[in-house]
Amino acid sequence: MWLLRLLAAILVIAIGVGLLLYVFTGRREYLSFSWRLFRYGIVFALLVFALMFIERLAIIPI
């Protein structure tokens, strides 16, 4: 779980850096980079949450 938190923190920092670079330079590549990272992060988070949910459902009561 600590690895997921670390990846989330790195993702937030990378998105923030991309947005700051866009603000300072005005180059749209940085904005699209941040948007792409955000989308992939959301998809990854949804997959992790889905796997955690399926894991909860897969527990067979004795």
pLDDT tens digit sequence for 10-62: 999 999 999 999 999 999 999 999 999 999 999 999 999 999 898 888 876 65
In angstroms, what CA-CA distances link 37 with 5, 10, 16, 45, 59?
Answer: 16, 11, 10, 12, 33
pLDDT score of 62:
58
Mean pLDDT of 2-16: 95
Residues in the chain: 62
pLDDT, tens digit (0-9, with 9 covering 90-100), for 16-29: 999 999 999 999 99
* pTM over the 0.85 mark: no
